[in-house]
Chain A
């Protein structure tokens, strides 16, 4: 829905003069989206789900506590410079300026990381971004929520361990890590090395150069080394290519475990039959049998106000991931309103408090119609990550099937690494960490 977009014809000039008319109290959310270019396939689903959820809240509940949510998209093309421009542009839009920034790109996350505390806009990065920002004492304004790459790597190893019949069975096993050769792919290295030392398995790291549309040599290496499992840490076209190449070299797909950026319909459909049996982690599940998705169908698509051009993608992994983005946004508004006044629009600082005190327990998730849809989530002043849990889903050739319950990660190990890294950052930048016992 785009009637929320400020209809200012003056174009650029509009961005200087800022917002025009102000009606009733409205909560503004700026969406830096990408709907063109290489990552548009995932982007269109994610932003569609996010917008549809907020639309559903407006339609079904009349907003949050009577405050309608408004939003505006800004096209980033997944480009850091465009993302910064969007961040700055959205900052002054709406009634009280942008109140939450979710870049959906690690590059843009880093580009605005130091701007958000100055502008007092909380930044929420769900499943990407800077891992050590989970230490809320050093990064009060950044929330890498639900789970981080490190928790995910640990969760995957735990899953493989259970599959093998116990963590002690991992000893002597060979695990190959096929990773996207970039900062994103390298996030997996340190944690896997630590886990390998702890559990006694062996990790072989195999890099795939961007974009990864050719993986002949990598898979021949895998074929030669015969690992027990392959962890696919891919992105974009690298994922279907990996699945196809695995089929080509005869590696069983059941022994391939993907990360959440490898485990969507966009990754398996192009690989066709080669993807059957592939398992991937996810902090949200696919499927439309959840009350929350059905409410979207009823209140949004029923009224023909849906954002998706292709309605069949409602309930896909990326779409549902967008719904999670929407849910966390809405719940933070709700939480903030509890403290700062129902029926009022929240500003960035109040929203930050809302995020920091977010507590989506089973009861709350059930009320939201999202039991099993995402893990129960509790954010505290020190821990901006929350559960760090993932579910594993398997592709059966046509759709994703949930295999497991929420799989935990090695919390102590991951948290230790996060604190160590955050402390190093604090030292480098001369930041004094907050004392969380004094936060209310």
Chain B
């Protein structure tokens, strides 16, 4: 009833092509942003902000990055965590070595550093496809982490190889409380997500999808696959890099190269597959799902079974349920949570009338 587009007429091409063609979505976007940007920081506890919402947002950004590469351009990658590491260590080093560099500039420079590395490791994609490429991106994963561990210059010669993020200051304001950090993260993520949503609707985005669906055919109709693929690697790595820098600056504060390991890469891959391959919205849903599910299980499993299980088995049961749920979701809805969201919206358009 509320979600109907009856009476909304489009009188120009630009109106028809806008990002949210339905009025309710347009308002919905601002309402959601207002809720998460104003209401949540006022109401949520420090635990929710620091331990759940900030990582969900950061992982969403990384998932958007991977989604651009995998979901839109069709290049499977298992090296997202390494590109995050480049972003984190890049931003750290830019701020360390250039005096007075503004935080946001360092963030972007970190992302650009990741993009440059991403293009380098994207080169093989011109010849290699599918799982061969996926395994090849593992080379990036292991090599980058190795370089960051091996050369102490990257961590400013810290004996432990760990970097401690500098304070986040923008225009003289110190972002140190959980609220401030959350709002900052949200602003960066929301801006980049909106940019991504727009980007995939441009000629570039369409050329990615053409390459994804069939690169030979795309080439025939005049798309340069090399340019499209490398651009996808660059943009994707940029997003991952910014996510990595946020991971260091607004989430953990101190990071070590080993923190950006293969597990993290897989975690991001889960997010896009569970959330929905080729969907910006899905990146958020997937990220929330993958971050929240283990925490939920860790709360629920002991509460239900209490004394009945040994401590070790209770932990393993969480793992079993986690794996089982992933398989269950894939079987029930192979297109991810974003598809469920879509179906929900379709249903909502008719509700409460049957036709």
Q: Touch between A and B in complex, CB under 8 Å?
A: yes
* Chain A contacts to B: CB under 8 angstroms: 1-3, 5-9, 11-12, 14-16, 33-36, 40, 44, 47-48, 51, 73-75, 77, 79-82, 84-85, 87-89, 91-92, 106-107, 110-111, 113-115, 130-132, 181-183, 186-187, 189-190, 209-210, 307, 309, 421, 425, 428-429
The answer to whether B159 has its CB under 8 Å from any CB of chain A is yes
Q: How far is the CB of A234 from chain B (nearest CB, A)?
A: 15
- Interface of chain B: mostly helix, strand, loop or mixed: helix
Known: A183-B256, A428-B164. A5 touches B318 (CB 8 A): no
| Chain A residues positioned under 8 Å from B45 (CB to CB) | 16, 92
Contact of B292 among A12, A75, A80, A88 (CB under 8 A): A12
Total A-B pairs in contact (CB under 8 Å)?
150
CB of B258 within 8 A of CB of A107, answer yes
Interface residue from B146, B253, B257 paired with A111 (Cβ < 8 Å): B253
Task: Please determine whether A181 and B149 come into contact, CB atoms closer than 8 angstroms.
Answer: yes
Which residues of B sit under 8 angstroms from A111, Cβ to Cβ? 252-255, 259
Nearest B-chain residue to A191, judged by Cβ: B159
- CB of B306 within 8 A of CB of A2, answer yes
* Minimum distance in angstroms from A374 CB to a CB of chain B: 24
Contact of A2 among B46, B51, B311 (CB under 8 A): B311
Which listed segment binds A: B100-108, B127-135, B295-303, B332-340?
B295-303
Interface pairs (23), CB distance under 8 Å: A6-B303, A11-B303, A12-B295, A36-B316, A36-B318, A40-B315, A44-B311, A44-B312, A47-B311, A75-B315, A75-B318, A81-B55, A81-B252, A82-B294, A85-B295, A91-B47, A92-B47, A107-B259, A111-B252, A114-B253, A130-B160, A181-B149, A421-B159
Residues A16 and B47 in contact in the complex (CB < 8 Å), given A7-B303, A35-B311, A73-B311: yes
Are A36 and B159 also in contact (CB < 8 A) when A88-B50, A113-B254 are? no
Per the 8 Å Cβ criterion, residues 270-307 of B in contact with A are 292, 294-296, 298-300, 302-304, 306-307
* Contact partners of B351 in chain A: CB under 8 A: none
Residue on B nearest A73 in the bound complex, by CB: B311
Give, as a whole number of angstroms, the nearest-CB distance from A312 to chain B.
15
- Name the residue on A nearest B300 (C-beta): A11
Q: Which residues in B have their C-beta under 8 angstroms from that of A106?
A: 160, 256
* B240 interfacial contact with A, CB 8 Å: no
Query: Which residues of chain A are near B292, meaning CB under 8 Å?
Result: 12
Q: Which residue of B lies closest to A307 (CB)?
A: B311
Known: A85-B295, A130-B160. A16 touches B48 (CB 8 A): yes
Query: Which residue of the partner chain A has the closest CB to B150?
Result: A181
